[in-house]
Amino acid sequence: MTDKKIVLITPTGARPKQIETCAALMKKQTYAGPVIWIIVDDCDPATAVFIDGSFRDGWDIWKIYPNPSWRPGQNTQGRNLKCAIDCLQQHFVRDEIGGIFFIEDDDYYSDTYLERMVPMLDGFDVIGETHTIYYNIAIRKWIMNHNAEWSSLFQTAMTFNAIPAFERLYGEKFIDYMLFKQPDVRVNLFRAGNISIGIKGQPGRSGIGAGHGWIRTMVDDPKLDQLRKFIGDDVKFYM
C-alpha cells in the first residue's frame, strides 16, 4: 500500500484549540507515505486557515467551507462527512487511495497511529480500535468503553470499497456504530494499545457521544497521572 495515498478526513469548526492540537499531532506522524488531508471547516470565522500547502512535505491539503455555516444546536456531522467523501470521489480514483482515515479534531493520536493503522486495512474494508479510552479534560476523569464490536469514528478507517455503505449513514446520529453493522463490509477490529484516545471536555463547540459529560463509573485522575501514562509527554497539549 506504500505506493498509494491515504486520505485523512477532519470535520472541524469553532474549536481553535482542538484543531491546533490536531495539526500538531498530525505533524508528528511517523507515517512516510503520501497523504491527502481533507479538512471541512463549517464555522464562520474559519479556524483551520493556518493549515496550508506548506504543512508537511508529501501532504496535500484540501479545504472545504460548507454553506450555510454551523449554528449552535446543530449536528452537521453527516453533511460535513458527505462534503469530504464527495470531494474525494470527484478528484481521486479508487486505485490511487489506500485508505480513508477519520481524524477528529478533538481526539489524541500517537505519533505512530497512521503507520500502525495502515497495514491493518490489508484485506478489509473497515477497521478500528476497540475498547476506546475516553478522557474528559474538564473534570479530569476517564473511562474505558467496552465497545468490542465497533470502533469510535475517530479511530476508524476504511477503503474505497466501504464508501457506498458509509454514504447510507449520513443521517445516523452514531455513524461509527452503524458502519460496523453493515452486512456488505469486511471488518477488522482489534486492540492496539490505545494508539488513539478520545479527549473530551475541551473548550468551544461540544461534541456528541460518550465521554462528553459525567459518567458514574468514570475514574478520577486529578493530577493527570493516568493521562500521562496513556500519552507520555504529549500530556502538555491538555494542561
> Residue 1: pLDDT above 60?
no
Encode the chain in three state secondary structure: CCCCEEEEEEEECCCHHHHHHHHHHHHCCCCCCCEEEEEEECCCCCCCCCCCCCCCCCEEEEEECCCCCCCCCCCCHHHHHHHHHHHHHHHCCHHHEEEEEECCCCCEECCCHHHHHHHHHCCCCEEEECCCEEEECCCCEEEECCCCCCCCHHHEEECHHHHHHHHCCCCCCCHHHHHCCCCCCCEEEECCCCCEEEEECCCCCCCCCCCCCCCCCCEECCCCHHHHHHHHHHHHHHC
For 174-193, the pLDDT digits (tens) are 999 999 999 999 999 999 99
For 40-75, the pLDDT digits (tens) are 999 999 999 999 999 999 999 999 999 988 888 788
Specify the pLDDT at position 206.
Answer: 67
Specify the pLDDT at position 3.
Answer: 78
Percent of the chain with pLDDT over 70: 95
Specify the pLDDT at position 215.
Answer: 75
Specify the pLDDT at position 69.
Answer: 83
Specify the pLDDT at position 214.
Answer: 59
Specify the pLDDT at position 212.
Answer: 55
For 66-80, the pLDDT digits (tens) are 998 888 878 889 999
pTM to 2 decimal places: 0.94
In the CATH hierarchy, which fold is given to the domain comprising 5-128+146-185?
Spore Coat Polysaccharide Biosynthesis Protein SpsA; Chain A (3.90.550)
